[in-house]
Chains A and B, each alone.
Chain A
């Protein structure tokens, strides 16, 4: 198995990190001669293994190596971008970025790429055990998920998989910033269905920076949920309390609230929260923190993908909107400091504002026991169709259950739930004790006092 080895990253081509660093330094020096006032080069490499299963058969082992450069060059404040995964093309790629910048008009809002800064180490992001995992160990994790599913009567996986990845990221700019970070992650995903009789499906997944996932539990949880969802009853059209499981609540937040606190959307007046800093927008017990420094957090790091130190940003504090999320450009435009939220999908994409770890804080209690009648929704489909500006959405609740007299009573067939995120934030009236991290959103189950629910 290939390993990330900082001395020799590309055994076949014999290119080392030191060589890459010196190539970047040379390119940065050249950028000035080409007419760029500022330049920034990132290099990232990701080595990953994936094991996939279909039904209860482990079918495929994948191994991938992704590596490349992303370059930003500024001329009169205009920034051109260019990327490549061909190592020998670094200089040409730089020329392309500079040429693009020259076509663009001057931008007075561009200040500079982030300056050199001191970083605080964030723990729990790298696990040697993940680096060293053998193919057989990876296969075993997938096999554990399958046996977890099959430990529940009449349940079988439809598909799923295990993956491990090791990543390394280097950023340097002409302002003297030079930083490197590395990370590891493992994840497991299982989609299940009934083997015979009525069809009932469910899924579960987990992801961690450490090799500490209980893979059998992923399979078993999904299977249990599918089993409990059998023989669903129909509900009519009703207004009632809805409790969202962390999966469904995170899905809704990511498609509505997250884009609304993105300073880029705010500055372009494409956010329902534009111009509302300091306003009370949520229940007075609700606080939301974006925390790029979270120990072991899925999106944590000592710095963001522009080299800005990460931090804890209070987005909502006791119901009041206290901050938007900024990358270096949007921060310059509002003359504030970047909150360390400049992220890239990959080396080949232009960085932009994104959340890191979004931590939802609300006083916790036994919310199911405190609910006389309501709906509990595990997952939703269609959250990405929400109107992210107005916050309106209409989504299909899946693996939903009726709550009666403080107990989960019966499974419910599909329900359509309509609402608005900003109204929801005001109407949150409870949170469970089941906090979990869902793709960077760290949240408990959350109860909304009243929503419009339509059965089929």
Chain B
């Protein structure tokens, strides 16, 4: 047998081989942990957007759309953000198992750790209004974003399916009929004398609302129920939601 150890030591000396410096490994380790952290944070952004989109939709109006509840859920799920969430959780998992002790954890444990952090942080971001701001930025700055997500706007701008949304322009007293500018800037005559105003709304110009009713002709809509733009009009803690 060759004397391998002595040969190796000679080669180390001859080729002037040196141990890689400690900072190299520390940097590598910090990089992996940072990538894990960034992935989890991006995952939490995705989760907050999922929450925002789900919460802004009205889930009680599926019968107006003539669809089953399951079909409505299938159409409305924020697939784009779900894909991002899965992607970031995957990247977080990949980085975690490459940390020094990552291999000691089971696949399912790492997945749950990443998911729980993303869900918790995402919920905090949602409750702070972060996801609403982020959603607005995406709508304004990212081309075709509005085509990729099923939003409250898409849900309510379906006059042919008896749903409409927009801002009150003028009010005709005493019946409270009004002129509405919809979300596509088209003007509508709204018959609202038989409508139920949910959430203790006071009809005033500039008020953004959602309407359930019946399409009469190209620019006339008879409202049966009017809701504030945000929420379904339930009265909670002194606020109209």
Report whether chain A binds chain B: no
